[in-house]
């Protein structure tokens, strides 16, 4: 009853003839564009199994996918990579709304970077329907396009009270998506929030699942989350909808990484116990622990108030933010009630004010919580200070030790080793900037093009001091590359195409100590020094500009420094210590996501110590449309920049030298604006954090703020800077 199949036709034959106990094996090799349906009726004793000839030697590529429907079926060892599903799921535990999988097992399967190249086209990777299915020891890594990685669907009665078990799976890297729809696991939807799902999620390892705020979006009742490890994830296990959730014995490791979070509580009868949190730095909706305010008589798709919930015996080591009554606003006006926070331990080496209380906490009973000596909760009772040490336990966790309590972490806790499969690597293949070799580039025509073309990821292209480089072809940046002048006199790059550099999918760019001169650029509107691919980029990119000079970008109008496209997303754009002079366009207009569905173009934007002079367009335009609260970007930091005659061009439609819309965190300080257009900001979505201080607007329009009016302005001057 072991049947080796070598083609989809043979496979289909085998499936349609399969009897209980049969084992169908996909032959070693690449299965391209294989849309497999695995259906049949096994028995508990004699399931029908789909597996592979040899594990790790069978891959499904191109437009492949799998649908499972029937009873007592086992799928094992399939690897999906180098392609993407043409339908809305890579692996679906149903064939259609009526034919689904029950008592089935999906085990030791791999889905690795199997992404639709269009980051804004949605799919799921695993959709779970039916009942009593077990999803275990799978390796699911690198989802980068729109859509939750794994869902449990409850859209028909036959998928509710399902008793699914999701365990020992390895959920690998999911980078910041830059919009809603980057969750890793969702159980239910708001439409079925009050149905019982009864799903157990146990001992799974979530490794940098950073897609959005919700690593896990719980949207149904009576689910249990146990012994899962969340490693450096910039989000929370969120009880978004539904009641009676049990969150017990999980571990959240932040290691001090930005925006790492823990558990977020909404709704009723939630239990959060025995969890361990370490080095979580996130705040607002990504705090180490967040209990939200609710909406009175909330519709199911808004925020049901917290009642009858219990937070007991959790440990927080060096976690920066505990947020109570979070999200309190005119709509979310109902604080938690008849709930308790008890016997938790809070330790912090340096920070004393961990707790932020946004509304009335009288509905929360605080009891027997313990804090380290330095912590001031501001909450009048239910906390005692205690002296204790941190000791690394045998599992490697730093736990507090005292004779008053004992912090234990279950031996069932997920580790990188005990999850996923052992025959598929969990290592990152990401190459960092500056990690490669240094390649010297001679001055001349297209020398830079040629060396770029032959470079390897991470390489550093070293230009000669004072050298002149002409690009008659655009240098395509297909992997991380650094360009720098060695020596004191910056090399100059000129270019005959509409852009010198084009960052393509997988590329990142660092520019250091170089002059860019627009003199040879074509006489057409819309040139730029750097452009992203005009096609969607599924990989986030990075751009660093340091100590560079951009001058005379004046051939025709709308000559920008950086021109990005819709469907591209930068983790970081950093522009520092650079000079920009005589430019007909913008320095950077990051506003190509005009659909207002919540997408934006960059997470962190940093501009420091730059001078901008005679710029007809804006120094910066940053736009985030829509009203989605699943993400926190963009973050903007502008510090010590000088703008001299910026934004005055008649084509500058932003009517500003810096124009911000929907940016979530804004720090603008120590900047000088002379003879320049305004700084304008439209504040929307959630509660943007806005700090404007020590800026000088001389003979310039000043600050204009529309939208929300919560922001801080300090020390705004209007002094003549007397540039020389």
Residues that bind Ca ion (CB under 5 A): 180, 214, 630
- Residue 49, CA atoms < 13 Å, CB-side half-sphere: 19
Interaction of residue 454 with a copy of itself, rule CB under 8 A: no
Interaction of residue 118 with a copy of itself, rule CB under 8 A: yes
Q: How many residues interact with a copy of itself (rule CB under 8 A)? A: 46
41 binds, options Ca ion, a copy of itself, none, Cβ within 5 to 8 A by partner type: none
Q: Are 181 and 147 in contact (CB under 8 A)?
A: yes
182, two tokens: 């980057």
* Number of C-beta neighbours around residue 290 at 10 A: 27
CA–CA distance, 679 with 656 (Å, rounded to integer): 6
Q: How far is the CB of 526 from a copy of itself (least distance, A)?
A: 4
Main-chain phi, psi angles of 451, to 5 degrees? -70, -40
Q: How far is the CB of 529 from Ca ion (least distance, A)?
A: 25
Please pick, from the candidates 189, 220, 275, 613, the single residue that binds a copy of itself as defined by CB under 8 A.
189
The vertex-369 CA angle with 363 and 370, nearest 5°, equals 150
14: helix, strand or coil: helix
Interaction of residue 474 with a copy of itself, rule CB under 8 A: yes
Interaction of residue 634 with a copy of itself, rule CB under 8 A: no
Question: Which of the stretches 230-238, 392-400, 559-567, 572-580 binds a copy of itself when contact is defined by CB under 8 A?
Answer: 559-567
Task: Name the β-bridge partners of 605.
Answer: 573, 636
Chain-centre distance for alpha carbon 211: 3
16, two tokens: 């349609």
Q: Are strands 398-401 and 389-392 parallel, antiparallel or unpaired?
A: antiparallel
472 binds, options a copy of itself, Ca ion, none, Cβ within 5 to 8 A by partner type: a copy of itself
Residue closer to a copy of itself (CB basis): 190 or 572: 190
Residue closer to a copy of itself (CB basis): 189 or 312: 189
Please pick, from the candidates 374, 472, 715, 716, the single residue that binds a copy of itself as defined by CB under 8 A.
472
55 binds, options a copy of itself, Ca ion, none, Cβ within 5 to 8 A by partner type: none
Interaction of residue 596 with a copy of itself, rule CB under 8 A: yes
CA–CA distance, 365 with 312 (Å, rounded to integer): 11
Residue closer to a copy of itself (CB basis): 589 or 638: 589
489 binds, options a copy of itself, Ca ion, none, Cβ within 5 to 8 A by partner type: none
302 binds, options Ca ion, a copy of itself, none, Cβ within 5 to 8 A by partner type: none
Q: Which of 251, 155, 239 is nearest to 202 (CA)?
A: 251
511-530: which residues touch a copy of itself (CB under 8 A)? Answer: 522-526
CA–CA distance, 216 with 230 (Å, rounded to integer): 10
Q: How far is the CB of 620 from a copy of itself (least distance, A)?
A: 16
CA–CA distance, 692 with 678 (Å, rounded to integer): 14
630 binds, options Ca ion, a copy of itself, none, Cβ within 5 to 8 A by partner type: Ca ion
Q: How far is the CB of 630 from Ca ion (least distance, A)?
A: 3
Residue closer to a copy of itself (CB basis): 267 or 536: 536
Residue closer to a copy of itself (CB basis): 414 or 619: 619
Q: How far is the CB of 400 from Ca ion (least distance, A)?
A: 33
Q: Are 149 and 172 in contact (CB under 8 A)?
A: no
**CA end-to-end span of the chain:** 87
Q: Is 554 exposed, middle or buried (0-12, 13-18, 19+ CB in 10 A)?
A: middle
CA distances to 56, 231, 459 from 276, rounded to whole Å, are 35, 12, 40
Please pick, from the candidates 194, 379, 565, 713, the single residue that binds a copy of itself as defined by CB under 8 A.
565
Please pick, from the candidates 597, 703, 705, 713, the single residue that binds a copy of itself as defined by CB under 8 A.
597
CB-nearest residue to Ca ion: 630
Please pick, from the candidates 338, 395, 402, 594, the single residue that binds a copy of itself as defined by CB under 8 A.
594
Interaction of residue 488 with a copy of itself, rule CB under 8 A: no
Residue the block writes with tokens 């590359």: 481
Residue closer to a copy of itself (CB basis): 63 or 273: 63
478: helix, strand or coil: coil
Please pick, from the candidates 121, 307, 379, 606, the single residue that binds a copy of itself as defined by CB under 8 A.
121
Please pick, from the candidates 6, 57, 131, 557, the single residue that binds a copy of itself as defined by CB under 8 A.
557
337: helix, strand or coil: strand
Q: Are 114 and 145 in contact (CB under 8 A)?
A: no
Residue closer to a copy of itself (CB basis): 96 or 722: 96
Q: Which of 238, 107, 222, 240 is nearest to 166 (CA)?
A: 107
Q: How far is the CB of 199 from a copy of itself (least distance, A)?
A: 19
Interaction of residue 682 with a copy of itself, rule CB under 8 A: no
339 binds, options a copy of itself, Ca ion, none, Cβ within 5 to 8 A by partner type: none
Which helix or strand (DSSP H or E) is residue 576 part of?
Answer: strand 570-576
Q: What is the DSSP letter of 196?
A: B
The full DSSP string for 538-549 is SS-EEEEEES-E
Q: How far is the CB of 190 from Ca ion (least distance, A)?
A: 11
Interaction of residue 149 with a copy of itself, rule CB under 8 A: no
Q: What is the DSSP letter of 16?
A: H
Residue closer to a copy of itself (CB basis): 592 or 608: 592
Question: Which of the stretches 308-316, 330-338, 402-410, 623-631 binds a copy of itself when contact is defined by CB under 8 A?
Answer: 623-631
Q: Are 46 and 71 in contact (CB under 8 A)?
A: no
Q: Which of 171, 175, 182 is nearest to 122 (CA)?
A: 182
Interaction of residue 122 with a copy of itself, rule CB under 8 A: yes
Q: Are 200 and 167 in contact (CB under 8 A)?
A: yes
Residue closer to a copy of itself (CB basis): 487 or 526: 526
CA–CA distance, 275 with 266 (Å, rounded to integer): 17
Residue closer to a copy of itself (CB basis): 43 or 594: 594
256 binds, options Ca ion, a copy of itself, none, Cβ within 5 to 8 A by partner type: none
Q: How far is the CB of 300 from a copy of itself (least distance, A)?
A: 14
535 binds, options a copy of itself, Ca ion, none, Cβ within 5 to 8 A by partner type: a copy of itself
Question: Which of the stretches 75-83, 85-93, 368-376, 421-429 binds a copy of itself when contact is defined by CB under 8 A?
Answer: 85-93
Residue closer to a copy of itself (CB basis): 24 or 588: 588
595 binds, options Ca ion, a copy of itself, none, Cβ within 5 to 8 A by partner type: a copy of itself
Interaction of residue 132 with a copy of itself, rule CB under 8 A: no
Interaction of residue 57 with a copy of itself, rule CB under 8 A: no
CA distances to 5, 33, 40, 53, 379 from 26, rounded to whole Å, are 5, 14, 17, 6, 61
Residue the block writes with tokens 């399969």: 18
Q: Are 237 and 225 in contact (CB under 8 A)?
A: yes
Q: Is 326 exposed, middle or buried (0-12, 13-18, 19+ CB in 10 A)?
A: buried
638-657: which residues touch a copy of itself (CB under 8 A)? Answer: 651, 653
The 3 state secondary structure assigned to 505-539 is CCCEEEEECEEEECCCCCCCCCCEEEEECCCCCCC
489-508: which residues touch a copy of itself (CB under 8 A)? Answer: 496-498
Task: Please report, as ranges, the residues that interact with a copy of itself according to CB under 8 A.
Answer: 86-88, 96, 118, 120-122, 146-147, 180-181, 189, 445, 472-474, 496-498, 522-526, 534-536, 557-558, 565-567, 591-592, 594-598, 625-628, 651, 653
């Amino acid at each position: 009853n072991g049947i080796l199949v070598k083609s989809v036709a043979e496979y289909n034959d085998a499936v349609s003839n399969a009897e209980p106990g049969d084992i169908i094996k996909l032959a070693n090799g690449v299965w391209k564009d294989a849309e497999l349906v695995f259906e049949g009726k096994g028995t508990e004793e004699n399931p029908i199994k789909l597996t592979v000839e040899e594990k790790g030697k069978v891959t499904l590529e191109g437009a492949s996918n799998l649908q499972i429907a029937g009873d007592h079926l086992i799928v094992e060892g399939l690897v999906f990579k180098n392609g993407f599903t043409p339908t809305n799921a890579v692996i679906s535990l149903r064939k259609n709304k009526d034919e689904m999988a029950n008592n089935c097992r999906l085990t030791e399967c791999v889905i690795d970077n199997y992404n639709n190249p269009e980051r804004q086209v949605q799919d799921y990777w695993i959709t779970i329907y039916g009942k009593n299915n077990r999803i275990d020891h799978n390796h699911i890594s690198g989802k980068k396009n729109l859509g939750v990685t794994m869902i449990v669907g409850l859209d028909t009665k036959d998928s509710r009270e399902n008793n699914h078990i999701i365990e020992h799976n390895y959920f690998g890297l999911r980078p910041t998506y830059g919009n809603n729809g980057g969750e890793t696991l969702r159980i239910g939807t708001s439409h079925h929030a009050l149905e019982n799902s009864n799903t157990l999620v146990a001992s799974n390892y979530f490794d940098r699942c950073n897609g959005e705020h919700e690593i896990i979006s719980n949207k149904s009742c009576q689910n249990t989350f146990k012994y899962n490890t969340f490693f450096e994830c910039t989000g929370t296990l969120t009880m978004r909808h539904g009641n009676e959730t049990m969150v017990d014995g999980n571990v959240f490791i932040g290691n001090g990484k930005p925006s790492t979070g823990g558990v977020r509580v909404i709704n009723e009868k939630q239990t959060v116990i025995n969890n361990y949190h370490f080095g979580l730095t996130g705040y607002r909706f990504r705090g180490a622990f967040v209990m939200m305010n609710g909406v009175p008589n909330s519709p199911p798709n808004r925020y049901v108030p917290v009642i009858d919930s219990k937070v007991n015996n959790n440990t927080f080591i060096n976690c920066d933010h505990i947020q109570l009554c979070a999200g309190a606003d005119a709509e979310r006006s109902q604080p938690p009630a008849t709930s308790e926070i008890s016997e938790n331990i809070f330790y912090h080496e340096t920070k004393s004010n961990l707790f932020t209380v946004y509304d009335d906490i009288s509905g929360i009973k605080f009891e027997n919580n313990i804090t380290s000596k330095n912590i001031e909760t501001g909450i009048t009772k239910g906390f005692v200070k205690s002296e204790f040490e941190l000791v690394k336990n045998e599992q490697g966790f730093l736990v507090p030790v005292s004779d008053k309590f004992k912090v234990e972490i279950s031996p069932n806790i997920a580790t990188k080793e005990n999850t996923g499969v052992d025959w598929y690597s969990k290592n990152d293949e990401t190459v960092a900037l500056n990690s490669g070799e240094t390649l010297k580039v001679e001055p001349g025509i297209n020398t830079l093009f040629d060396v770029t073309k032959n470079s390897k990821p991470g390489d550093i292209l070293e230009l000669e001091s004072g050298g002149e480089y002409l690009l008659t072809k655009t240098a395509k940046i297909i992997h991380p590359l650094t360009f720098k002048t060695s020596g004191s006199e910056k090399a100059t790059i000129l270019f005959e195409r509409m852009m010198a550099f084009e960052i393509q999918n997988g590329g990142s760019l660092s520019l250091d100590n170089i002059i860019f001169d627009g003199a040879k650029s074509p006489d057409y509107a819309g040139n730029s020094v750097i452009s992203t691919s005009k096609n969607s980029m599924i990989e986030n990119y990075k751009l660093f500009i340091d100590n560079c000079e951009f001058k005379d970008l004046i051939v025709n109008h709308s000559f920008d420094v950086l021109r990005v496209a819709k469907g591209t997303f930068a983790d970081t754009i950093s522009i520092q210590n650079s000079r920009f002079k005589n430019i007909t366009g913008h320095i950077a207009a990051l506003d190509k996501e005009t659909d207002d569905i919540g997408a934006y173009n960059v997470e962190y934007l940093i501009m420091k110590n730059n001078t901008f002079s005679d710029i007809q367009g804006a120094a910066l335009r940053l736009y985030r449309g829509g009203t989605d609260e699943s993400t926190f970007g963009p973050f903007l930091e502008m510090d010590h920049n000088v703008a001299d005659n910026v934004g005055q061009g008649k084509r500058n439609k932003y009517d500003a030298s810096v124009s911000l819309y929907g940016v979530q965190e804004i720090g603008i300080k120590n900047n000088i604006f002379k003879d320049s257009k305004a700084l304008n900001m439209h504040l929307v979505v959630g509660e943007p954090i806005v700090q404007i201080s020590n800026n000088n607007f001389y003979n310039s329009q000043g600050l204009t703020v529309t939208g929300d009016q919560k922001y801080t302005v300090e020390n705004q001057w209007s002094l003549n800077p007397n540039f020389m």
